[in-house]
Structure 1
Amino acid sequence: MDLHATYPALADLRARAQRRIPPFVWEYLDSGTGKEATKARNRTALDRIGLMPSVLHGEVTPDLSTPFLGDTLPLPFGISPIGMSGLIWPGAEGHLARAGRDHNIPYCISTVATQSPEDIAPHLGPHAWFQMYPPRDPEIRRDMLARAKAAGFTTLILTVDVPTASRRERQVRSGLTNPPRLTPRLLAQIATRPAWAWETAKRGMPHMRGLDKYTDAASEGLSPTAHVGYLLRTAPDWDYVKWLRDAWDGPFIVKGILKPQDAEKLDKMGSDAIWISNHAGRQFDGAPASIDALPAIRAATKRPLIFDSGIESGLDILRALSLGADFVMLGRAFHFALGALGRTGVDHLIDILAKDMAANMGQLGAATLTELPPAFDLTTNAPFQMVQKPPRRAEIS
């Protein structure tokens, strides 16, 4: 079967995923919070970014490789963490970890995954990232770091933009709770999705296996969009960041940054990279589009920058790189691919993104990612105010 003939774009995988996973699971994956204005802004802002085509370069064979954190990766994108991935498609974390290994790109697992670090250890490649929602108890912190390191995770990601549970009204209306309670309404939805139901039946209903050691999963009194992780976590501060930086032996990245001032401070505190994100519109409905925050943060720090939120194509990846990002991560997109075709969908999405990047680089006359043209605003034809991206180095002192 020619997957590119049937599913040539992420939109095709998204549509198939919606048909294959239960509606309450779809609402969890696809929804934002509030009126979903931030989620919409992410898309609108990316569509506003133009790149000027350039012709008469002869044949261009694009090189998609990029240096990042002391290594050269074959592609400038990786797989973002999503909590409860195994709810979206059974065995999701294992599928995604193996895809990251096989394609030599980063895979980042969530603290609130449905498989534990120990479960995933046999499937990890060299670019295994562990995303931490910050535990309040220092002993749990130490133990979680030790488990991640022992399992083979090399890079620690601290997510700082979830100080409280967001309301996620679409998710609430769907009837989904964490952990899922199989009401007659949800069971009726599951009955209409036999592939998902069969795979889930073989594995059992998903829960946050990595937290079993720290909680008995009692979640009474939590809001429908919260989960047992909220019984353990705290809202981190700058002292917390310093504690983790000192405690973790390896690359350390802080995720959820939108303000240049925060990026400057993290730079001084030794964050090896800074991850620009508005949590894909799932946390706060009054936030700017992540891509709109990128140029000012690029101007504020020489640290490598990771970008996420709203990426749907290879062209979107090029847009983020042209505005100063060093690397791009995708979360929802990979889970749409999983829901559509399982592990085959993940491999196909990677191929879609790579081919789309190469096709667009040919239009731009760019043989390498360093040759991308400056971005401009398609609504005004004005260039974005940019600073030159600093030379990429294995380490920045």
Structure 2
Amino acid sequence: MDLDLTYPAVSDLRAKARRRIPHFAFEYLDSSTGAELQAKRNRDALDAVHFMPDILPGRVGPDFTTTFMGTEYSRPFGIAPVGMSGLMWPGAERMLATHAAQTRIPFGLSTVATRLPEEIGPIAGDMGWYQLYCPADPEIRRDMLKRARDSGFTKLIFTVDVPDDSRRERQRRAKLTLPPKITPRVVWEVLTHPEWSLRTLKIGAPRIVLPESYVDQTDPRSSLHHAGHIIRGTPDWDTLKALRDEWQGDLLVKGVMCPVAAKRLVGEGVDAIWVSNHSARQFEPGPAAITQLPKVRQAVGPDFPVIFDSGVAAGMDVLRALALGADFVMLGRAWHYAVAALGAKGPAHLTHILTDDMKLNMAQLGTHHLADLSKRLLA
């Protein structure tokens, strides 16, 4: 099969993933919150970022090698942390971490992953970033940080845009629980997706193993009342100060939309700002993330490291974010559509899709270097 002809875009991977995995797994991955207007707003705002193509540029062969925060990556994009990756496809964390190490792009492991940092860290190598949903208990927090550090993770991602639950109505309608409750509907979905089911049987039911190691396990909980939810705290600025003291490495703060907050974070000693609205999964009536990116860039200055995610679904979207002030771009859902659609072949194919899309669009723009993209922006 020629993957480039069968799955030429992220939307094709999404469609294949939807057919290949149970409904409750797809809804967990694909859903936003509310009526999903924020997701549409993210997409519309990205589509509204336009460029003026140049002509007669000669041969355009851009080098996508990117040095970010002292590390060289082969592309200006990476794999954002996504909770419960192994629910979307058994072994997803291992597949993605392996691809990240081989390709030299960053891989973010979530606090609520289905694999422990001790397993994934050595696979990701120096490409591993660890994402923290901060526990209420400082002893648990310090132990998590030690485990991440000892496992080889080089950067800590402190996620700050989940102060409480969001309703995520599609997940509720799908009756998702962690682990899934055995109901006739769940049995039917499992039976009608045999490859997912057999691989899950071999690997084991997806569980959020790190948080569960700190709580007593009793009966199944809803997807919004799992072990990660139970131990999660309500972090504040004092929590940030404690993390800055406890983590001896790069500290990235993810979920920043407000320029004033971004400027304060710089003063508090964080090492990078991550502009994101959690891909519309938390709060519906906020602004599109891409509209806040230039404002945050202006607030923190031209040289401070800035990352962007939320709604990125193509190489062109990566170029848009770079043109508007991001130094690096992360994708979450897209990688999981890829592994759910194609298994271990998925990450490499998605990297090809994104890279080729960037290369061809830069040729259309007549732009030889990523740093020159902003010159072609239309106001």
Q: Shorter-chain-normalised TM-score: which range?
A: over 0.9
Paired with 2:172 and 2:313, the residues of 1 have a C-alpha distance of: 26
- Is residue 204 of structure 1 aligned with residue 204 of structure 2? yes
- Is residue 171 of structure 1 aligned with residue 171 of structure 2? yes
CA contact (8 A) 1:52 1:373 kept: no
Alignment correspondent of 1:123:
123
Paired with 1:243 and 1:219, the residues of 2 have a C-alpha distance of: 33
User: After the TM superposition, which residues 289-300 of structure 1 pair with which residues of structure 2 at under 5 Å, given as runs?
Assistant: 289-300=288-299
SS of 2:101's equivalent in the other structure is helix
TM-score normalized with structure 2 length = 0.97
Alignment correspondent of 1:350:
351
Shift of 1:372: 1.0
Shift of 1:259: 0.2
Paired with 2:97 and 2:83, the residues of 1 have a C-alpha distance of: 14
CA contact (8 A) 1:172 1:225 kept: no
Paired with 2:262 and 2:116, the residues of 1 have a C-alpha distance of: 31
Paired with 1:172 and 1:13, the residues of 2 have a C-alpha distance of: 24
Alignment correspondent of 1:76:
76
Task: Report which stretch shifted further, 324-333 or 171-180.
Answer: 171-180
Alignment correspondent of 1:227:
226
Equivalent pairs counted in the alignment come to: 377
Alignment correspondent of 2:142:
142
Over the aligned positions, Cα root-mean-square deviation in angstroms equals 1.3
Alignment correspondent of 1:86:
86
- Higher fraction of helix: 2
- Is residue 268 of structure 1 aligned with residue 267 of structure 2? yes
Paired with 1:114 and 1:122, the residues of 2 have a C-alpha distance of: 16
- Is residue 365 of structure 1 aligned with residue 366 of structure 2? yes
The Cα offsets for residues 222-272 of structure 1, whole Å up to 9 and x where unpaired, read as 665232111111111111011101110111100000000110001111111
Alignment correspondent of 2:284:
285
CA contact (8 A) 1:51 1:376 kept: yes
Task: Report which stretch shifted further, 366-375 or 52-61.
Answer: 366-375
Paired with 2:198 and 2:222, the residues of 1 have a C-alpha distance of: 29
Alignment correspondent of 1:321:
322
Q: Segments of 4+ in structure 1 off by > 4 A?
A: none
Alignment correspondent of 1:330:
331
Paired with 1:61 and 1:154, the residues of 2 have a C-alpha distance of: 31
SS of 2:126's equivalent in the other structure is coil
CA contact (8 A) 2:253 2:272 kept: yes
Unaligned runs of 5+ in 2: none
Paired with 2:166 and 2:225, the residues of 1 have a C-alpha distance of: 8
Shift of 1:165: 1.2
Shift of 1:276: 0.5
Shift of 1:66: 1.7
Alignment correspondent of 2:238:
239
CA contact (8 A) 1:42 1:289 kept: yes
Identical pairs, percent: 53
Alignment correspondent of 2:309:
308
Paired with 1:106 and 1:254, the residues of 2 have a C-alpha distance of: 16
Shift of 1:125: 2.4
Shift of 1:6: 1.2
CA contact (8 A) 1:160 1:235 kept: no
Using a 3 Å threshold, how does the CA distance of structure 1 residues 370 and 228 change in structure 2: closer, same or farther? same
Shift of 1:191: 1.0
SS of 2:129's equivalent in the other structure is strand
Match of 2:17, as an amino acid? Answer: A
Match of 1:227, as an amino acid? Answer: H
